[in-house]
Amino acid sequence: MIVENDELFAQVLVVGGGPAGAALALELARDGVDVLVLDSQRFPRFKPCGEFMSPQCVPLLERLGAADALRGAGANEVRGMLLASYGRSARGRFVDIGRARAPVEYGWALRREVFDATLLDQARRAGARVLEGWRVREVLRTPAGRVIGVEARDAQGRSRNVRASWTVGADGLHSRVAGALGVQRETPQLRRIALTTRYRGVAHDGFAQAHFFDEGYFALAPVDAGLVSVNLVLWKSAFERAGLPRDEAFEHWLARTPAVREQLAGAERVDPLRGIGPLARSTTRQTFDGAALVGDACGYVDPVTGEGTYFALQGAALLAPALRDALRDERTDASALDPYLSGRAREIAPRARLCGWLVHALARPSIARGVFSLLASRSGLADLAVSLTGDYAPPRELLRPRVWRAAWRGGAS
């Protein structure tokens, strides 16, 4: 990075140092690319999240060379998931599904402030420049529309231009980069809000949990430091109808979910209740001349299946080689990133569609009741459901009758 006339320059500018931005910066820097990350916050910083990473995140993080640092930071192995609703419950494990092999038999749970700061630190060690407290406000474009960088407020509050061959918006759900490029859309049918906190002293068996009810669900994950992360996700309309302040709303739904209430009864809440939402964004494009979007900046991923971190890491893993090739060929046209788009269509889109389908199905109590009765009666079906959210089994495996027969009988594949 060269500083010239108060402007900064980099080959690749990454806006946002969350999992998507940090993973991308790490991989590019390791390959010798001059990469600069700007984040509006200072790390470690809190990020509302269920804090569970699916099993497929583990090999991605191994590939980045970051897994040992995350293990050292306390990443907790989560060997399955308890799914509960309407008085029924089922425990599913991460197992082989059809032709898909589980890379490991567990996902990880780690406080996001620890995970994100550790991953960003790994990017820094690999050679990425990271500037914290820099808020991007505008995208800079040529008269022909090619993105050539951003205008940001630096840590001292001064306006600074940062120019780059490629600018990447990895700035999360409310992406300023996607907004400035005019590609963000509201998805009203997905208007959810989340209330999130953590408890100490919850007795648990090392599984994550999801407890569904008509208006939403509670999600619990045993993270590092002996804490359990607790998220309440609700349809925004239900939250508004209740008309309660956050703490009272949390208590209201807790009182109606005895299985969660009983677990938290003797435990101590160690974090304030934080709210986020509405969670309802999508984008119409993800690549541009001189720019790309990755992670949540591409659009909202419902936390119901705990896949957002995988989408962020996998998106970065697909974007990095496309950017590297574009830099080598001195290209800045959007079509140079077509391999990234086809990778997303193959790896991310089918899982995002399955997740969306699940959100809509579970919103119908009659369907949800039927699903949970089945899951509770057949352990193989619970394994199938949980494994599909583990991100190693492609949803197309569901089209194979053999997979269903094996799950019905209680086998793995």
Name the site residues for ligand FAD (rule: CB under 6 A): 15-21, 38-41, 47-53, 135-136, 170-173, 176, 194, 196, 231, 233, 276, 279, 295-297, 301, 303, 306-310, 312
CB of 119 to ligand FAD, least distance (A): 9
- Write the CB contacts of 29 (distance below 8 Å, at least 6 apart in sequence): 35, 123, 126, 127, 128
Query: Under a CB-based contact definition with an 8 Å cutoff, are residues 316 and 308 in contact?
Result: no
Measure the CA–CA gap between 17 and 117, rounded to whole angstroms. 9
**CB nearer to ligand FAD: pick between 152 and 376:** 152
Where do we find the tokens 């993973």? 23
CB of 327 to ligand FAD, least distance (A): 22
CB of 97 to ligand FAD, least distance (A): 19
**CB nearer to ligand FAD: pick between 85 and 389:** 389
Measure the CA–CA gap between 346 and 360, rounded to whole angstroms. 22
**CB nearer to ligand FAD: pick between 162 and 406:** 162
**CB nearer to ligand FAD: pick between 73 and 412:** 73
Question: Which two tokens mark 139?
Answer: 């995208």
CB of 78 to ligand FAD, least distance (A): 10
User: How many Cβ atoms are within 10 Å of 255's Cβ, its own excluded?
Assistant: 10
Measure the CA–CA gap between 326 and 367, rounded to whole angstroms. 47
Measure the CA–CA gap between 315 and 367, rounded to whole angstroms. 32
CB of 219 to ligand FAD, least distance (A): 7
**CB nearer to ligand FAD: pick between 22 and 327:** 22
Phi-psi region of 16 (alpha: psi -120 to 50; beta: other; left: phi over 0): left
CB of 172 to ligand FAD, least distance (A): 3
**CB nearer to ligand FAD: pick between 30 and 281:** 281
